[in-house]
Chain A
């Protein structure tokens, strides 16, 4: 956090599906080397915000700043090459490709396949055993590992994780978050979205709660833990 310019900054983001607004001016900052957790109930707009951040969806208002530069309207493939790695909701893998071909897809961002494999297998040794397996036939946890490996292998500037825990057994979720913590210690900035908070708050430096398209609380994870249940029950101020 020595660098004064935040790595990723979202300023007053508004976004809409067709004409239905889902984000109403969201501000969020990911400092260099920090882990930011974005929490909130179903339908709060968390995934939409991530989509805006990685270029999959246009913002109708506001600015997306990456390393201090405005990147609104930059195509997602271009952002990926600049170092924004996103692991989308569900399983962020290509189910019909083999594990190796999935990793090979990351070579578009500039790294060579051997480098990517070295990083991926170092972090996730289990993937090495599955190298020729079609990714969609692996277990959910393994698929999520592959998705994270894909995200990490190119040494991104920021890693965006959307609902890592979705559909996974709690023990596997914990395992995955241990990896997230390791990754964070190695200096990668991480923006992570979750619906259920306890695991992710243990890893995060900073957390925000989003309800109905607005950030309603923002602060240190320990402070927020108390307020989470009320946020989920929806009796917050500024929330109708």
Chain B
């Protein structure tokens, strides 16, 4: 009984902290409609700031607390609102989620930059040597404090939201922003206030929990999973149920710690408990209604076959150039560009076409890598097929119960799955399910053999570079084929309006399930290729936090196009490692950059590939530029292979050549000297009547529109 009471008290105090963080989450979600994945990270930064002021600089507790909770957190909240979240109107759920994931990644990068990891930082409990005895059980001062703070927070929030005008206005702004302003509310002020309050709650939670867990950027940031489990019990709306959920969660963790046998197989279960609980809760909450039309200012044009073949060819060319020119160590580093591009590619059908979100890409990759590592120990290519099939089946199994959920809930379910595997299953020793022996990472790392096709072994980095770049090109073609098929049209339709699709007789569950399986399969395949490059894989290679930048950069690159995937791989495994070699400052910067890119997404939700394609468009209209490039690139390559050029100059020339071509083509096309591939009618990538709705309206479109309608010219303001 004593033991039970002790662990109940531990559970209640942990639950109280989860409740504080989760209530901040509910507050920002109900008032701004943004699902803040960075809530834990904001708490983490404030906990570090508190540590710095109190423990490092020796400020008194009250001063450090006041600055951290009442100054830093609210200011951070207002900054997030003004600089980041304001730009997110009319963007999709994916974009909003990715922006907050960008914030999470950026804040972790920033914290690691300022507070070097690996240093032991003492963060002692509040009222460390005080406490009292309750029914023969010792209650520490810290435990009592957390419960009191949670109760105060709960009461204050309830009063604020129910009885004050500002509280009502916060809820009103979510309902209808413009109507609220017609009532005399300044929506911007209200949402800034909501963010300030949400961040303050995160800060209180972060500072209170820091003594219980390590002061570590990733650990504290991932408390978000625990907070989400609590918030989902409150269905992201009800604060009382959220508090209840937090207490259930805290107690579950505490009892698992107290009563579970101390076997290594169960050590991870306790860490994974919140994720598992989150998954279970997601399964039992009632499914949401089918949503109708969702309009956003995001638009991804249909890829053409010609463009796709050129893209696939250029990808293989890039692989070949790198394979023949890079040193062994460089090739090892940069070959990962293509394996990560395939990871990103797995998200294109899922997110870009079907509008479903998965945060478990690398987890499926890990499954693929394990399958290939264990079964394909001799490099058997058939194992690669299994590395596609098995993750696809697992993906379908995971998605099946989660599919009646949509959008954000599905994303959370995949996050829970990823965290549970990451914290628990991957760290298990070999075990048997019936007659089948399942091997994980063998409690450390697992060897992965290079692929062997009819005696030809892909054992050098250069050969792997070729293998993976060809694989990327082929899968790109497959993904484009999916996009252009009847099935792809179905995915896009589902993304636009699930309700409309259901009324047309489309099987939503089957469609979602298949695209989820396809995506998991591609990710598993990428995992196997990535495993080959690493040679020895461990759970750390496929961690949940590692996977976030992949999603982030895939969306930043342009989630609706295969080019965006290559861009994601190139920036994550090419550009960032490259600038990291420039010095400590740049390697720190490299950790923050993906986050910044994600945060900036609201400005350009169509992805940067879209802009690049627009930027390079003049080349396609000026034939000499194409010819020039087709001559220059092989020439540079030959010069490099013959030893006349170093790698530095060679890659600089490669980068400058297309830019020069764009400049020249731009000037020539502008002058209209007659050599351009001109006089072709303007090609519209969308039906004319969509102009101004799905894509920006250009003044020149008027002429085409008038022509199509057989009308005289309309005078538009702004047009000449």
Binding site for B on A (CB under 8 A): 14, 16-21, 54, 56, 60-61, 75-77, 80-81, 85-86, 88, 92-97, 101-102, 104-109, 150
Given that A19-B718, A108-B183, A109-B184 are contacting pairs, would A95 and B175 also be in contact in the complex, using a CB cutoff of 8 Å? yes
Q: Mark B673-699, 1 if CB is under 8 A from A, else 0.
A: 000000000000000000010001101
Residues of A within 8 A of B697 (CB): 18-20
Residue ID in chain A nearest B696 by CB atoms: A18
Is residue B169 within 8 Å, beta carbon to beta carbon, of the partner chain?
A: yes
Given that A94-B179, A96-B174, A97-B171 are contacting pairs, would A20 and B692 also be in contact in the complex, using a CB cutoff of 8 Å? yes
Is residue B630 within 8 Å, beta carbon to beta carbon, of the partner chain?
A: no
Determine the distance from Cα of A85 to Cα of B176 in the docked complex, in whole angstroms.
16
Residue ID in chain A nearest B174 by CB atoms: A96
Contact of A76 among B168, B181, B699 (CB under 8 A): B181
B476-525 interface with A by 8 A CB criterion: none
CB distance from B309 to the nearest CB of A (A): 35
Please name 27 pairs of A and B residues whose Cβ atoms are closer than 8 Å in the assembled complex, sorted by A.
A18-B692, A18-B696, A18-B697, A19-B699, A19-B717, A56-B181, A56-B182, A75-B181, A76-B182, A77-B181, A80-B184, A81-B184, A85-B182, A94-B175, A96-B171, A97-B168, A97-B175, A101-B171, A101-B172, A102-B172, A104-B165, A105-B165, A105-B169, A106-B184, A108-B184, A109-B183, A150-B183
Residues of B within 8 A of A86 (CB): 182
Is residue B296 within 8 Å, beta carbon to beta carbon, of the partner chain?
A: no
List the 9 closest pairs (A to B, CB-CB), nearest first: A108-B184, A94-B175, A80-B184, A76-B181, A109-B184, A105-B183, A77-B181, A101-B168, A94-B172
Contact of B182 among A20, A80, A96 (CB under 8 A): A80
Interface size of B by CB at 8 A reads 26
Residues of A within 8 A of B181 (CB): 56, 75-77, 80
Residue ID in chain B nearest A96 by CB atoms: B175
Residues of B within 8 A of A17 (CB): 692
Determine the distance from Cα of A76 to Cα of B176 in the docked complex, in whole angstroms.
14
Determine the distance from Cα of A82 to Cα of B378 in the docked complex, in whole angstroms.
79
B153-201 interface with A by 8 A CB criterion: 165, 168-169, 171-172, 174-176, 178-187
CB distance from A134 to the nearest CB of B (A): 11
* In contact, B692 and A76 (Cβ under 8 angstroms): no
CB distance from B110 to the nearest CB of A (A): 35
Determine the distance from Cα of A93 to Cα of B183 in the docked complex, in whole angstroms.
10
Residues of B within 8 A of A92 (CB): 179, 182
CB distance from B709 to the nearest CB of A (A): 11
Q: Mark B697-720, 1 if CB is under 8 A from A, else 0.
A: 101000000000000000011110
Given that A18-B692, A19-B692, A108-B183 are contacting pairs, would A88 and B178 also be in contact in the complex, using a CB cutoff of 8 Å? yes
Determine the distance from Cα of A75 to Cα of B188 in the docked complex, in whole angstroms.
12
Q: Which of A104, A107, A109 has the most B CB atoms < 10 Å from its CB? A: A104
Residues of A within 8 A of B169 (CB): 105, 108
Known pairs A20-B692, A20-B716, A101-B171 / 8 extra A-B pairs, C-beta < 8 Å: A17-B692, A56-B181, A80-B184, A85-B182, A88-B178, A88-B182, A97-B168, A106-B183
Determine the distance from Cα of A108 to Cα of B173 in the docked complex, in whole angstroms.
13
Residues of A within 8 A of B696 (CB): 18
CB distance from B503 to the nearest CB of A (A): 20
* In contact, A108 and B178 (Cβ under 8 angstroms): no
Determine the distance from Cα of A104 to Cα of B186 in the docked complex, in whole angstroms.
15
Residues of B within 8 A of A75 (CB): 181, 186
* In contact, B165 and A108 (Cβ under 8 angstroms): yes
Residues of B within 8 A of A61 (CB): 717
* In contact, B183 and A80 (Cβ under 8 angstroms): yes
Residues of B within 8 A of A77 (CB): 181-187
CB distance from B320 to the nearest CB of A (A): 44
Residues of A within 8 A of B179 (CB): 88, 92-94
Determine the distance from Cα of A135 to Cα of B258 in the docked complex, in whole angstroms.
48
Determine the distance from Cα of A19 to Cα of B699 in the docked complex, in whole angstroms.
8
Residues of A within 8 A of B185 (CB): 77, 105, 108
Binding site for A on B (CB under 8 A): 165, 168-169, 171-172, 174-176, 178-187, 692, 696-697, 699, 716-719
Determine the distance from Cα of A234 to Cα of B169 in the docked complex, in whole angstroms.
43
Determine the distance from Cα of A95 to Cα of B174 in the docked complex, in whole angstroms.
10
Residue ID in chain A nearest B173 by CB atoms: A94
Determine the distance from Cα of A109 to Cα of B187 in the docked complex, in whole angstroms.
14
Residues of B within 8 A of A18 (CB): 692, 696-697
Determine the distance from Cα of A92 to Cα of B179 in the docked complex, in whole angstroms.
7
CB distance from A100 to the nearest CB of B (A): 9
Residues of A within 8 A of B717 (CB): 14, 16, 19, 21, 60-61
Residues of A within 8 A of B699 (CB): 19
Determine the distance from Cα of A76 to Cα of B592 in the docked complex, in whole angstroms.
39
Determine the distance from Cα of A18 to Cα of B171 in the docked complex, in whole angstroms.
30
Determine the distance from Cα of A107 to Cα of B716 in the docked complex, in whole angstroms.
42
Determine the distance from Cα of A104 to Cα of B185 in the docked complex, in whole angstroms.
11
Determine the distance from Cα of A81 to Cα of B172 in the docked complex, in whole angstroms.
17
CB distance from B90 to the nearest CB of A (A): 13
Determine the distance from Cα of A108 to Cα of B180 in the docked complex, in whole angstroms.
10
Q: Which of A77, A93, A96 has the most B CB atoms < 10 Å from its CB? A: A77
Residues of B within 8 A of A60 (CB): 717
Residues of A within 8 A of B178 (CB): 56, 76, 88
Residue ID in chain B nearest A154 by CB atoms: B184
* In contact, B165 and A107 (Cβ under 8 angstroms): yes
Determine the distance from Cα of A105 to Cα of B699 in the docked complex, in whole angstroms.
42
Residue ID in chain A nearest B701 by CB atoms: A19
CB distance from B236 to the nearest CB of A (A): 13
Determine the distance from Cα of A101 to Cα of B699 in the docked complex, in whole angstroms.
46
CB distance from A206 to the nearest CB of B (A): 24
Determine the distance from Cα of A94 to Cα of B168 in the docked complex, in whole angstroms.
10
CB distance from B36 to the nearest CB of A (A): 20
Residues of A within 8 A of B716 (CB): 19-21
Residues of A within 8 A of B183 (CB): 77, 80, 105-106, 108-109, 150
Residues of A within 8 A of B175 (CB): 94-97
CB distance from A91 to the nearest CB of B (A): 9
Q: Which of A14, A20, A88, A106 has the most B CB atoms < 10 Å from its CB? A: A20
* In contact, A105 and B692 (Cβ under 8 angstroms): no
Residue ID in chain B nearest A110 by CB atoms: B184
Determine the distance from Cα of A39 to Cα of B184 in the docked complex, in whole angstroms.
28
* In contact, A105 and B180 (Cβ under 8 angstroms): yes
Residues of A within 8 A of B176 (CB): 94
Determine the distance from Cα of A191 to Cα of B719 in the docked complex, in whole angstroms.
33
Residues of B within 8 A of A85 (CB): 182
Determine the distance from Cα of A142 to Cα of B174 in the docked complex, in whole angstroms.
22
Residue ID in chain A nearest B180 by CB atoms: A105
Determine the distance from Cα of A75 to Cα of B186 in the docked complex, in whole angstroms.
9
Residue ID in chain A nearest B175 by CB atoms: A94
Residues of A within 8 A of B184 (CB): 77, 80-81, 106, 108-109
* In contact, A105 and B168 (Cβ under 8 angstroms): yes
Q: Which of B168, B180, B183, B692 has the most A CB atoms < 10 Å from its CB? A: B183
Residue ID in chain B nearest A54 by CB atoms: B182
Residue ID in chain A nearest B178 by CB atoms: A56
Determine the distance from Cα of A141 to Cα of B179 in the docked complex, in whole angstroms.
19
Residue ID in chain A nearest B187 by CB atoms: A77
Residues of B within 8 A of A97 (CB): 168, 171-172, 175
Determine the distance from Cα of A89 to Cα of B564 in the docked complex, in whole angstroms.
40
Q: Which of B165, B187, B692 has the most A CB atoms < 10 Å from its CB? A: B165
Determine the distance from Cα of A132 to Cα of B174 in the docked complex, in whole angstroms.
19
Residues of A within 8 A of B168 (CB): 97, 101, 104-105
Determine the distance from Cα of A199 to Cα of B181 in the docked complex, in whole angstroms.
30
Determine the distance from Cα of A222 to Cα of B174 in the docked complex, in whole angstroms.
43
CB distance from A111 to the nearest CB of B (A): 10
Determine the distance from Cα of A105 to Cα of B697 in the docked complex, in whole angstroms.
38
Residues of A within 8 A of B692 (CB): 17-20
* In contact, B172 and A105 (Cβ under 8 angstroms): yes
Determine the distance from Cα of A102 to Cα of B180 in the docked complex, in whole angstroms.
10
Residue ID in chain A nearest B711 by CB atoms: A240
Determine the distance from Cα of A95 to Cα of B181 in the docked complex, in whole angstroms.
16
Given that A17-B692, A56-B182, A76-B181 are contacting pairs, would A94 and B165 also be in contact in the complex, using a CB cutoff of 8 Å? no
CB distance from A149 to the nearest CB of B (A): 12
